[in-house]
Amino acid sequence: MTKVMAVSDAVAQIPDGATVSVSSSSTLGCPDLVLKAIGDRFEAKGHPREITSLHPIAAGDVYGVKGMDYIAKDGLLKRVLAGSYPSGPSSVEMPEIWKMIVEDRVAAYNVPSGIMFDMHREAAAHRPGVLTHVGLETFVDPIRQGCAMNDKGAAEPIVDRVEFGGETWLHFPNIIPNVAVIRATTADEHGNLTYEHEGAYLGGLEQAICVRNNGGLVIAQVKRVTARGSLRPHDVRVPGHLVDCIVVDPDQKQTTETLYDPAISGEVMRPWDSFALADHGVEKVIARRAASELRCGMTANLGFGISAMVPRVLLEEGHPDAVTWAIEQGAVGGVPLSGFAFGCASNADAFVPSPQQFIYFQGAGFDISFLSFLEVDVEGNVNVSKLGKKPYLTAGCGGFVDITAKAKNIVFSGWFEAGAQIELAEDGIDIKAPGKFTKMVDEVEHVTFSGKRAREQGQNVLYVTERCVIQLTEMGLVATEIMLGVDPQEHIVGPSQGRVQVAENATLMSKSLLTDGPMGLEL
């Protein structure tokens, strides 16, 4: 008997009050057809009502794939927990889910992506929730916001601070999903799923096991259906006995603005010279200095923003595979992509399921992480997860908290001031006009990374800007390298109002960072 059915019939089985887990990362893996059908059924029938939705990484974007916006309706959505949320520039309209959050119409939480996957694993095995060090001293910790994004969220805490075995931990009691909505490329009639056109394995197996072990409903959206017995067992990522319903969407996008690119799913390998290099400019200068921290043979994690340019620096310098990149969606090796395709990689060595990738990150098996910052404070705390004035310009924490919890070496990249006018020359930078405000503040709006905990754990932390390289020390933020053309007092100490001091033995940053063309980087 086939499990293939109309999407309306599949979503009609979702009960009121359900807890629904969705496996995706923006458009990558997003089961958009099913989410739209849930919203449509609510509009037509008034059901399902009062659901809780779980999203380890964001579902949907602001560029045509609505994802969780389809279920962002009063009466339908009661509570939402997500590692990240759809985000975009101020030129696009605020997503509906963000309107609900800022207007306090839904209990909302930003939970680190790795912890979200951990929650599924623990609920599947009927263990008593997640016990973790990830998030201590950050906004995840109940001593701060406890993941809550608004008053409704704060009124219903989801995490406790506990003592166990002589240590302090964060405890997330189980929130048990009874519906999973996952996506694959191909299903056979029994429900076996393969992922040959997907750019990542985003926890679908873990979510399906969790829901099945708790007596729930698993809906799989796929691109196509084949006969039972025609799939190679080694290719099946989710076995059919875990799947209840199959819904077909032949037009599902591979990722944002990309219908299908075989290089993203590892079916073809691109020549190295087919990748665009980073444009010459201030951000490339920052990325070059960050790249200088690399050594041949390292495994490096990579985040969004300026940091995403670092692999392109290595390409330009003739070191395309000197470093193994590992990103949270699961790609290992190759070249992480940027722009709309961020979260994907071409020429990858492997695609590790995202939940397992986060285990690797939480245990700090990698050598170094390159991440970006919105603001840094005198304690070395970093905010990337909240902008009170324009909340949807940031997606939230994603995997940032999991990655930085124990990382041995972290390089944060960003502008020293927002909106400064800077010209590059071969012999230095010329700061034509100061920025609107410094990113070096007394206290960050949201603690996504704890400088205090980093110092306690002996983590090596750098903040790379166009003006200087700042080191986190016991004395606070200290600039140890100065860019050519920068006056330390006028351009660093003054604009930061003394929050960044300059080391007596500070050195000059290399002139080669400023060249238009390869800088001669040797790893």
User: Which one of 226, 248, 270 terminates a domain?
Assistant: 248
Residue 429 lies in a domain: yes
Q: Given a cut of 90, is residue 304 above it in pLDDT?
A: no
Full residue range of the structural domain in which residue 389 is found: 282-305+366-514
Predicted local distance difference test score (pLDDT) of residue 426: 84
* pTM, rounded to two decimals: 0.96
CATH number at residue 468: 3.40.1080.10
**Do 226 and 375 belong together in one domain?**
no
Both tokens of 460, joined, read 């090596």
Q: How far apart are CA 133 and CA 331, in angstroms?
A: 25
Q: Is the pLDDT of residue 1 over 80?
A: no
Whole-number pLDDT of residue 23: 87
Asked if residue 91 belongs to a domain, the reply is yes
Among 229, 248, 267, the domain-final residue is 248
Residue 10's nearest CA partner among 34, 44, 32 is 34
User: Domain for residue 344, yes or no?
Assistant: no
Verify that 235 and 295 share a domain, yes or no: no
Tens digit of pLDDT for each residue in 193-251? 999 999 999 999 999 999 999 999 999 999 999 999 999 999 999 999 999 999 999 99
Is 336 among the domain residues? no
Domain identity same for 109 and 218: yes
Residues 47 and 116 in one domain: yes
On whether residue 194 sits in a domain, the answer given is: yes
Are 419 and 286 part of one and the same domain? yes
In terms of domains, do 172 and 295 share one? no
Hey, how many other C-beta atoms are within 10 angstroms of the C-beta on 338? 20
pLDDT bin (cut points 50, 70, 90) of residue 165 is very high
Query: What's the domain count of the chain?
Result: 2
Please check whether residue 510 lies inside any domain of the structure. Answer: yes
Residues 296 and 401 in one domain: yes
244 and 290: one domain?
no
Residues marked active site are found at 328
In a domain, 208, yes or no: yes
Query: 171 and 73 in one domain?
Result: yes
Shared domain check, 153 and 22: yes
**235/301 same-domain check:** no
> Do the domain assignments include residue 228?
yes
Average the pLDDT over each of 34-38, 257-261, 406-410, 450-454 and give the range with the smallest value.
257-261
76-112 pLDDT per residue, tens? 999 999 999 999 998 999 999 999 999 999 999 999 9
DSSP code string of 94-143: PPHHHHHHHTT-SEEEE--HHHHHHHHHHHHTT-S-EEESTTTTSTTSTT
Q: Are residues 231 and 104 in the same domain?
A: yes
- Tens digits of residue pLDDT in 447-496: 999 999 999 999 999 999 999 999 999 999 999 999 999 999 999 999 99
Residue-wise pLDDT tens digits, 110-160: 999 999 999 999 999 999 999 999 999 999 999 999 999 999 999 999 999
Q: How far apart are the first and last CA of the chain?
A: 58
